[in-house]
Amino acid sequence: MDVESVRRDFPTVRSNLGIYLDSACQSLRPDSVIRAITDYYENYPACGGRSVHSMATKVSMAMDEARETLAGFFGTDDPDCYIFTKNCTEGLNTAAYGLRLGRGDVVVTTDSEHNSNHVPWLNLQEARGIQRRIVRSGPEGRFDLEAFHRAMDRSVKVVSVQHASNVTGCSVPVKAVTEIAHDYGATVIIDGAQAAPHMPVDLGRIDADIYCMSIHKMLGPSGMGAMYGKREVLEGMRPLALGGGTVGLTTYDTVNLAPIPDRFEAGLHDYAGIIGTKAALDYLKGVGMDEVMRWDRELMRRIVSNLEDVRNLHVVGPEDADSRGSVFSFNIDGLGAHDIAMMLDSMSGVMIRSGMHCAHPFYVSRGIDGSARASTYLYNNFQDIDVFTDTVRKIAETFGE
């Protein structure tokens, strides 16, 4: 991958607007995505799937092309199995509330889940009487496959796990998880928010029943996500919202739901976002997801190597760079995470995330108040990393206790 060529495709990088190390929250966007969005608003800003005039027809065709691109990108053959959502959170909620779970049904998750894959199950526990089993990870946050196997039995109806952690960067062996879960007849939901942007994801091979992702973390427009589901699973689910576009015919007393994917996409869509989604996936395909993963690993190795002897600094998660994906979470003795983030921004223009990263139970269970988190992507280079680590070293040595 020609990193410097990639960097020239991103306006904020070209304009030297700072060093962006917050891609686990939301990525930057290349010119091609911005152009695709602008082209929609300037040349065919109509509704898709409703009107039959030429402008609307162009939007409908663009939506179909975006679904086809999703299917090809993720290794499946049915574009209609991709539902457009606002984000991964909406997809996970659609799955949780749509699977018709009831009292006594068991849902297995892990102790490292994002709130989007934790809070809906808490609510269903209270509202419908489902039961939860939480698979505990090791001290560094690594997934324990044996513990997961012990948690499984025939009462488990759903297994819902992250593909990669937004705190530790650790990946879950989702293919093995899916195989075990299916042996017990369970439906598998995977939160792919942190994995889909950074590694090759072959959903045909993984065999998950539902896989959710945030397109805004993979160079796409803000407020765009997607939920993949096997056709037979989607056809058995209740939609999260109903209204225009989700029905075939209604009377005063009856309603017939539209076929998938329409039944899950109530109201008008973010058409510009859908068109931008295709452009983002096309860009990533052009670079190659193997190359994206390789470069994230090189950047993470640089971070770990540069910071390995810094006093007062503590890593959250594995110290092994190759186990961290694209995420480096850390604390400095005597400083709060928000203090670290503000110092990095004011001293060197380095932008990171700070707090509990919507993974509250992980931190609370370990007695940690939160962490600073730097997250990399394909547009970062070694100079970005060196400025970040030099500044962290200065902060730790000057202000750490």
Q: What distances in angstroms separate CA 226 from CA 183, 217, 321, one per listed residue? A: 27, 12, 29
The pLDDT of 205-222, averaged and rounded, is: 98
Residues 103 and 251 in one domain: yes
Confidence of residue 306 (pLDDT cuts 50, 70, 90): very high
Q: What is the pTM of this model?
A: 0.97
| Residues with active-site annotation | 358
Residues 16 and 39 in one domain: no
For CA atoms 49, 96, 135, 319, the dihedral sign is positive
Residues 141 and 7 in one domain: no
Q: Domain total for the chain?
A: 2
Of 141, 198, 200, 215, residue with least CA distance to 172: 141
Residues 15 and 157 in one domain: no
Residues 117 and 95 in one domain: yes
How many angstroms separate the CA atoms of 122 and 60, rounded?
38
Among the candidates 286, 303, 318, a domain finishes at 286
Strand order in the sheet with 327-332: 313-316, 327-332, 371-375, 353-355
In tens, the pLDDT along 338-371 reads 999 999 999 999 999 999 999 999 999 999 999 9
Of 369, 343, 340, residue with least CA distance to 356: 369
Residue showing tokens 């770990």:
304
Residues 311 and 281 in one domain: no
Quick one: how many helices (H) and strands (E) in the chain? 15, 15
The pLDDT of 264-268, averaged and rounded, is: 96
The pLDDT, as a whole number, for residue 139 is 87
In tens, the pLDDT along 152-185 reads 999 999 999 999 999 999 999 999 999 999 999 9
Residues 127 and 271 in one domain: yes
Among the candidates 225, 255, 286, a domain finishes at 286
Neighbour-count burial of 80, counting CB atoms closer than 10 A to its CB (0-12 exposed, 13-18 middle, 19+ buried): middle
Among the candidates 228, 261, 286, a domain finishes at 286
For CA atoms 150, 156, 157, 160, the dihedral sign is negative
The pLDDT, as a whole number, for residue 250 is 95
Residues 295 and 212 in one domain: no
Domain hosting residue 307, numbered range = 3-26+288-399
Residues 309 and 375 in one domain: yes
Greatest Cα pair distance, the chain, in angstroms, is 71
In tens, the pLDDT along 95-154 reads 999 999 999 999 999 999 999 999 999 999 999 999 999 999 988 999 999 999 999 999
The pLDDT of 13-34, averaged and rounded, is: 98
Residues 196 and 295 in one domain: no
How many angstroms separate the CA atoms of 291 and 146, rounded?
31
How many angstroms separate the CA atoms of 241 and 392, rounded?
46
Q: List the CATH number of the domain containing 222.
A: 3.40.640.10
Residues 298 and 216 in one domain: no
How many angstroms separate the CA atoms of 146 and 155, rounded?
18
Integer Rg of the chain from CA:
22
Residues 43 and 151 in one domain: yes
Neighbour-count burial of 154, counting CB atoms closer than 10 A to its CB (0-12 exposed, 13-18 middle, 19+ buried): exposed
Q: List the CATH number of the domain containing 347.
A: 3.90.1150.10
The pLDDT, as a whole number, for residue 101 is 97
